[in-house]
Structure 1
Amino acid sequence: MSGGVAQLKHEGSQRQVAVAGGVAGLVSRFVIAPLDVVKIRLQLQIHSLSDPLSVRSIDGPVYKGTLGTLKHILREEGLTGLWKGNIPAEALYLAYGSVQFSAYTYVSHLLDTVPQPYTIPSSANSFVSGAVAGAFATTATYPLDLLRTRFAAQGRDRVYASIFASVRHIAEHEGPSGFFRGLGAGVSQIVPYMGLFFASYEGLKPLLANSAIPLPFGTSDAAAGIVASVLSKTAVYPLDTTRKRLQVQGPMRSRYVHRNIPMYTGVVSTLSNIWKHEGRRGLYRGLTVSLLKAAPASAVTMWTYERAMAAMLALNDKEA
């Protein structure tokens, strides 16, 4: 078992792991909020900039790249437009971070108790633990993710007046299942993503810790988080686009900033529809900003998690 696996799994109590994960999620969300809004807007844009016919009679903005989208939102909606959906997103990241790290350490400990000859390698332990933790955290916090997407998809005209109003409207007009639109794509995405992320992170961390090359953000934690996140995010990105398209389905679909979002019904049909009408680029629209977002987000998350855990352990030592 690598030193990185042992360090992440065995330091701190379950409560400390949950607190450190929650703090890491909050800090990470605050840092990358504007990029998250830009990514969602690009993912929901179905018209192609290379096809002039696709933007005819479009009632809504036509975004051109990450920087162009950023400038457009600032010009049309002001600085606060870049933080739309931040309240449910902060709640999402707080809950997700706590559940994710708690589930990861719990499953890791559970797998460590498997007797010989059924034990699995440390890399497989990290993959399975990360996949299970991601699936559990995604399902538990999915309604917050859906609300984050719907608020980020709003333009100058407000679709929902408040968080409470959005919850009430979805409950009344879409029922309980309305809060879980696109969950299949979310779980299908997060299982391989988190499995690959944690396996890559645990494998890269001890290697980068001994590297003679200057590391991003100055630490092996951050560097390992960046590389692991970029690799994992690229592999599963089409499912992320599918999830976003499904999350804005419902009776308010035509009132978001992109008025022409098609009607989708399921994961497979959405993937095939995007591929048929928008091509491969449609599946990867917003990937650049997603990678720009994912790298610092994961770096900040892992760096903050390690520092928060170290602070709590140091506090315990002083009290002892």
Structure 2
Amino acid sequence: MVGYDPSNREATPSPEEAALAGSAAGMVTRALISPFDVLKIRFQLQIEPVSTRRAEGKYRGLFQASRCIHSEEGLSAFWKGHIPAQLLSICFGAVQFASFELLTEVVHETTPYDSQTAGVHFVCGGLAACSATVVCQPLDTLRTRFAAQGEPKVYSNLRHAVSTMCRSEGVLTFYRGLSPTLMAVFPYAGLQFFSYNVFKKLLAPPPKAGNSGANLRSLVCGSGAGMISKAITYPFDLFKKRLQVGGFEAARVHFGQVRSYRGLVDCMLQIAREEGVRGFFKGLSPSLVKAALSTGFTFFWYEFFLNAMRNLREEQTTNSLAKDFEER
């Protein structure tokens, strides 16, 4: 079970174990879902309507966009920005899960609330994600810039991107879109942990069944939690992406129209005026697919690596006891 468990403290991971398992889960998951992330970002940054009936926008659907990107930029385009994205996933997973485990323990030890309730998981999950966001926002901005650029590339590699952005736009450019990110990430991550907690309890096996099928339940529960949280908080993710590519308009001209925004409110008003309410949900389809896979795999791999570390720890303890017994 994710979170501090007072009934089984031996099974509760330390912050170090949670950070290691979280970073490993983020790394594996990112490699698997990167193509959906690139598709989502391309749709989010497209000003023209996303419609299969009218050929106004460059990208008009999941399959059409996939074929278009593959034919124009090659298979590797689906992993554009993969290095900063991997760094982001490793860093975010480590900070988020270590913070979450620590926060649930603090709540249980210092308040009358049970650390395994869904409400506590909502609050602790949201706060943990906010702390991870502040730490990892520069990597997220770099990831978005790489995924957004076409051919020829504006940034040849990570070092070139960092130096160019610092020189031409200043250090604060790495925190573009932080406000909508924080506004979205608290309820988004909170709902992830909340829904995961609820689904795990609903799908819990009978006591006699033991822990059979635990990995599959983690995947299913995580996928459901990811889709629910993404659907509710999606517009803020779109606002963040639009703001993150501010000052990057030249690299996006051949994709279609470009816009400049003065801030979050101006971004919201321009989208509402020019693209309508549907504009707030551009890229929702690949985002839901990505959210289901991403969250499902994240919780799956997190619990998988925690169990592996727990089994290794128990094996080492058993071997140590056996060695002490033999020496006596």
Distance 2:2 2:95 in 1: 20
User: SS of the counterpart of 1:64?
Assistant: coil
Distance 1:284 1:217 in 2: 34
Spell out, residue by residue over 1:80-122, the C-alpha distance to the aligned partner (whole angstroms, 9 max, x if none).
Answer: 1111000000000000000000111111111112244x77882
The Cα of 1:209 is off from its aligned counterpart by 2.5
In structure 1, what is the equivalent of residue 38 of structure 2? 37
Equivalent of residue 228 in structure 2, options 227, 231, 242: 231
In structure 1, what is the equivalent of residue 321 of structure 2? none
In structure 2, what is the equivalent of residue 167 of structure 1? 162
User: SS of the counterpart of 1:219?
Assistant: helix
In structure 1, what is the equivalent of residue 249 of structure 2? 253
The Cα of 1:49 is off from its aligned counterpart by 4.9
Equivalent of residue 62 in structure 1, options 58, 62, 65: 58
The Cα of 1:261 is off from its aligned counterpart by 1.8
In structure 2, what is the equivalent of residue 85 of structure 1? 81
In structure 2, what is the equivalent of residue 112 of structure 1? 108
Q: Which range moved further: 240-249 or 152-161?
A: 152-161
In the alignment, structure 1 residue 48 sits paired with structure 2 residue 56: no
For structure 1, the residue ranges without an aligned partner over 5 or more in a row are 56-60
- Report percent identity of matched pairs: 36
User: SS of the counterpart of 2:255?
Assistant: coil
Which residue identity lines up with residue 255 of structure 1 in the other structure?
Answer: A
Distance 2:271 2:214 in 1: 37
In structure 2, what is the equivalent of residue 17 of structure 1? 18
In the alignment, structure 1 residue 308 sits paired with structure 2 residue 305: yes
Distance 1:53 1:64 in 2: 8
Which residue identity lines up with residue 206 of structure 1 in the other structure?
Answer: K
Residue 115 of structure 2 contacts residue 121 of structure 2 at CA under 8 Å; is this kept in 1?
no
Structure 1 residues 63 and 259: alpha-carbon distance in aligned structure 2, compared to 1, 3 A threshold: closer
Distance 1:218 1:289 in 2: 25
Spell out, residue by residue over 1:224-269, the C-alpha distance to the aligned partner (whole angstroms, 9 max, x if none).
Answer: 111111111001100000000000001x322125352200121122
Residue 229 of structure 1 contacts residue 294 of structure 1 at CA under 8 Å; is this kept in 2?
yes
In the alignment, structure 1 residue 209 sits paired with structure 2 residue 204: yes
User: SS of the counterpart of 1:113?
Assistant: helix
In the alignment, structure 1 residue 271 sits paired with structure 2 residue 272: no
Distance 2:59 2:14 in 1: 46
In the alignment, structure 1 residue 141 sits paired with structure 2 residue 136: yes
In the alignment, structure 1 residue 73 sits paired with structure 2 residue 74: no
Distance 1:119 1:223 in 2: 25
For structure 2, the residue ranges without an aligned partner over 5 or more in a row are 318-328
Distance 2:4 2:98 in 1: 15
Structure 1 residues 231 and 36: alpha-carbon distance in aligned structure 2, compared to 1, 3 A threshold: same
Distance 2:50 2:313 in 1: 57
The Cα of 1:6 is off from its aligned counterpart by 4.7
In structure 1, what is the equivalent of residue 324 of structure 2? none
Q: Pairwise CA RMSD of aligned residues?
A: 2.5
The Cα of 1:304 is off from its aligned counterpart by 0.6
Distance 1:122 1:49 in 2: 40
Equivalent of residue 188 in structure 1, options 183, 189, 192: 183
User: SS of the counterpart of 2:13?
Assistant: coil
